[in-house]
Amino acid sequence: MPLLPFFKWCDTTFLANWVRDSQYIFPALEGVHILALAVLLGTVITVALRLLGKGLTGQTVPEVYRQLSRMRNGGLCVIVATGIPLFCSEAMKAYENPPFWFKMESLAVAILFQYTVVRWAATRETPVRWRDGLVGILSLVFWFSVGVGGRAIGFY
């Protein structure tokens, strides 16, 4: 596979060795990674529920989406910032781990969907209930797929 040299390189970087050689860095990064995931998923679930017509019904979908955008973006940035050193420290394990690939593919789909389709549906002033509901459900499916893939990594 053409990505093998990249994974080998990641596995030998200073960052990878720093995380691997420390007793505390990996668990600290993992803890922050999970907390940021909780923030991200909290915002995604809230917007998805609002798209489904549930929760925070006193506010419009665009209001909810706008109010949670900074938290969602911040959570995603922290996830990426902690995920890179976590990945580098176990790059060769990840390369041979099917759940890792599932997680990365799911993450790409979820991010793309979130920042295109969900943004489009959530910022429209005129809601279309069935369409918005479908967008909300798909958003939840894509993001929870990322979580399932991430959780499965440790069991393979």
Question: pLDDT digits over 82-134, tens only?
Answer: 999 999 999 999 999 999 999 999 999 999 999 999 999 999 988 788 999 99
Residue 1: pLDDT above 80? no
Q: What is the reported pTM?
A: 0.90
Average pLDDT, the chain: 95
**Confidence label for 154 from pLDDT (cuts 50, 70 and 90):** confident
Domain count, the chain: 1
- Compute the distance between CA of residue 148 and CA of residue 109 in angstroms, rounded to an integer: 14
Residue range of the domain that includes 94: 4-153
- HSE-up of residue 105 (Cα within 13 Å, Cβ side): 7
> Which of 64, 68, 36, 38 lies closest to 52 in space, CA to CA?
64
